[in-house]
Amino acid sequence: VAAQSLVVFGITGRMGQSLIRALREDSRFLLCGAVASAASSRLGQDAAAEGQPCGVTITADPSAALRPGCVAVEFSLGDAVAQHARICAQQRVPILVGTTGFDAEARSELERAAETIPVLIAPNTSIGVAVLSKLVAEATSSLGSTYDVEISEAHHRTKRDAPSGTALRLGEVIAGERGQRLSDVAAYERGGNALRSPGSIGFSVLRAGDIVGEHTVTFAAAGERLEISHRATDRITFARGALRAAGWLAGQPAGLYGMHDVLGL
């Protein structure tokens, strides 16, 4: 069986380089294109910053990097997502969007692209978080609406968006189970007069050091507290999940998908 070719947007970043590590251990996938920003200091260099070169040169031109039959794997910046989705749709290349922190306009662009190509929106590609999400949905429906729900997350000091895409996705899952819209019940800021409003979903964010990614959902009522947590200790877990998801995406018809579709959860 021929290996599945991948083009990585954001190759010079933490996730881009973790994907290279994951690719080295999995012969079912092959890097065929590596894209960084036009301002990148690594343009023209080999995609692998460490270890053996992988024979793919970094370019700032996404159109030139894409090939028929490849899957695009997006781990760059929220601001680049809309453009990358448009280019993938034009060139009929499926796209996995691991990037978080993109705006509503980019979301619409992804929905438009999904009319032409398979689009996977995966703010967290670890298998553990997909299961966390399912457990959180079950807990929400079993506990009912009298429990207070709070979502806390922790990441490294250079993460740009807050709360994390994963925390927001967990909030959407909980609000959906309760028949609410997250935007109506989310409490992102608490300071000064911060009495908890009933039915709200609170978010708290920690940014420090080199934390890879941690999420806890707390359900609390008078007399008890249930906490469901996931801790990532190495980005390789996101990278392995992304490869699995990219392999799955290559065989799908046009449409919008999530990690639960990949894993059949």
Ligand X SMILES: NC(=O)c1ccc[n+]([C@@H]2O[C@H](COP(=O)([O-])OP(=O)(O)OC[C@H]3O[C@@H](n4cnc5c(N)ncnc54)[C@H](OP(=O)(O)O)[C@@H]3O)[C@@H](O)[C@H]2O)c1
Determine whether 134 is an active site residue.
no
Binding of ligand X by 96 (CB under 6 A) = no
219 binds ligand X (CB under 6 A): no
Of 4, 5, 59, 76, the one binding ligand X (CB under 6 A) is 76
- Residue 40 interacts with ligand X (CB under 6 A)? yes
- In the residue annotation, 159 being an active-site residue is answered as yes
Kindly tell me which of 100 and 216 has the beta carbon lying closer to ligand X: 100
Q: Which of 84, 155, 215, 230 is catalytic?
A: 155
238 binds ligand X (CB under 6 A): yes
C-beta neighbour count of 206 within 10 angstroms: 12
Indicate the angle between helix axes 236-249 and 14-24, nearest 10 degrees. Answer: 70
Q: Which is nearer to ligand X, 163 or 165 (by Cβ)?
A: 165
By CB under 6 A, is residue 10 in contact with ligand X?
yes
The conformation of residue 232, written as its DSSP 8-state character, comes to E
Q: Which segment (21-29, 30-38, 169-177, 214-222) binds ligand X by CB under 6 A?
A: 30-38
Helix, strand, or coil here: 69?
coil
Neighbouring C-beta atoms of residue 12, cutoff 10 Å: 20
Number of residues this chain uses to bind ligand X (CB under 6 A)? 28
Q: Which of 10, 25, 248, 35 has the alpha carbon at shortest distance from 127?
A: 248
DSSP class of residue 160 equals -
* Closest separation in Å from C-beta 230 to ligand X: 11
Alpha-carbon distance 165 to 160, whole Å?
Answer: 11
Give whichever of 156 and 181 is closer to ligand X, judged by the CB atom.
156
In 3D space, the residue among 112, 97, 64 whose CA is nearest the CA of residue 165 turns out to be 97
Q: Which stretch binds ligand X (CB under 6 A): 5-13, 185-193, 199-207, 243-251?
A: 5-13
Shortest Å distance, C-beta 31 to ligand X: 15
Task: Identify whether the C-beta of residue 210 lies closer than 8 Å to the C-beta of residue 154.
Answer: no
Q: Are 157 and 208 in contact (CB under 8 A)?
A: yes
What's the rounded Cα separation, in Å, for the pair 85 and 107? 10
Binding site for ligand X (CB under 6 A): 9-10, 12-16, 35-37, 39-40, 42, 75-77, 80, 98-101, 122-126, 165, 238
User: Looking at the annotation, which residues are catalytic?
Assistant: 155, 159
